[in-house]
Amino acid sequence: MRSVPPSLRAPRRLRRAGAVLIAVVVLLSGFGPARPATAATRVTTRTLLLARGADRPLPTTVWYPSPLTGRHPLILFSHGLGGTPSDFAPLIAGWAEAGYLVAAPAYPHTNRRVPVVRPDVRSQPADALYVVDQVRRLSAVPGDVFSGHVDAARWAAVGFSAGGTTTLGLFGPGHDPRLRAGVSIAGREAPAGFGGWPAPLLFVHGNRDPVVPIGAARRAYGADPWPKRFVTVRGAGHGEYLRPGNPSYDRIAGLIRAFLAAQLPT
C-alpha cells in the first residue's frame, strides 16, 4: 500500500502554498454535471498545525476556493504509505475549484518524512475524524478565514492506497452520519468492516496493480452493503492514472469529481 511514486508527484509549482488558477469544466454522464469552473475562481492553500497527542502530529493542508462565500462541504483526503498530500495537488485542486474545502493531513507514522510504520494505518481513521472536527470548529471562530464557511452537516472522504483503507475505515459501525460518501482509490477493506448509516461508495482500482491486488478491493466492494460502484482502470498499476498527462487521468479525475458532486452538492 505504497503511495504515489516520485514520477506521479505534482510539479513543484502546483505544490506551493498559494493560489492556483483553475479553469476546467468537467461533465460526466452517470453522476450528473460537476459545478462549472469560472475564470474568477482561485484555489488557495492553508496549513493547519494540528496534533492528536504528542505522538500524533497532523500537519494539515487545506485547499479551498477563494474568495469563500456561503458554506462549503468538507472533503477529507488521505495519502498512502510514504506519501504526502502535495503528491495529489492537481486532483485536490479540482475539488476545491468545484466548491469544496479539502483537508489533507500528513499522517504521523506513514508520511514520506518519517520512517513508515505500516500497522499505524489502523489509527488513521481516528486521526481523520480529529482533523474534520478541528476544521469544522474554525467555522465558529470570529475572524478566521473559514469563519461561517464550513458546512458542518455534510462531508466526504477520499483516499489512495493505505489512504483508501483509511477512508473505508471511517465507514465502520457507528460512523458519523454526516459522512455522506467515500472514494477508495487502490485501497482495501479496513479491519472494522462496514456499518452504521448508509453512504454511497466509489471504488477505483487498476487491474494490474502490483501493490494492492484488485482482488483485495473487490472483496471490500463485496462486503459493502450500501449503494456502490466499482471502476476498473484497464491496464493500470498502482495509481499512475492519478498523474495529469496519463491517458486515464481526465476520465478518472472527472469520474471522482462527478461522484462527489452528485453525493455532496456544493
State the pLDDT at residue 38: 43
**Predicted structure pTM score:** 0.85
pLDDT in tens, 147-156: 999 998 999 9
pLDDT in tens, 98-119: 999 999 999 999 999 999 999 9
pLDDT in tens, 198-256: 999 999 999 999 999 999 999 999 999 999 999 999 999 999 999 999 999 999 999 99
188: cell is 482495501
Residue 3 has pLDDT above 80, yes or no: no
Half-sphere exposure of 118 (CA within 13 A, CB side): 4
256: cell is 471522482
| Rg of the chain taking only CA atoms, in angstroms | 17
Task: Tell me the percentage of the chain whose pLDDT exceeds 70.
Answer: 85
Work out the mean pLDDT of the chain and round it to a whole number.
87
Which of 1.10.1040.10, 3.40.50.1820, 1.20.120.400, 3.40.1260.10 is the CATH number of 6-263?
A: 3.40.50.1820
State the pLDDT at residue 35: 38
Put residue 53 in one of left, alpha, beta given phi > 0 → left and psi -120 to 50 → alpha: left
Where are the chain's structural domains?
A: 6-263
State the pLDDT at residue 191: 87
Residue 50 has pLDDT above 90, yes or no: yes
Residue 85 has pLDDT above 80, yes or no: yes
State the pLDDT at residue 41: 72
Residue 10 has pLDDT above 70, yes or no: no
pLDDT tier at 40 (50, 70, 90 boundaries)?
low
Contact 251, 244 (CB under 8 A): no
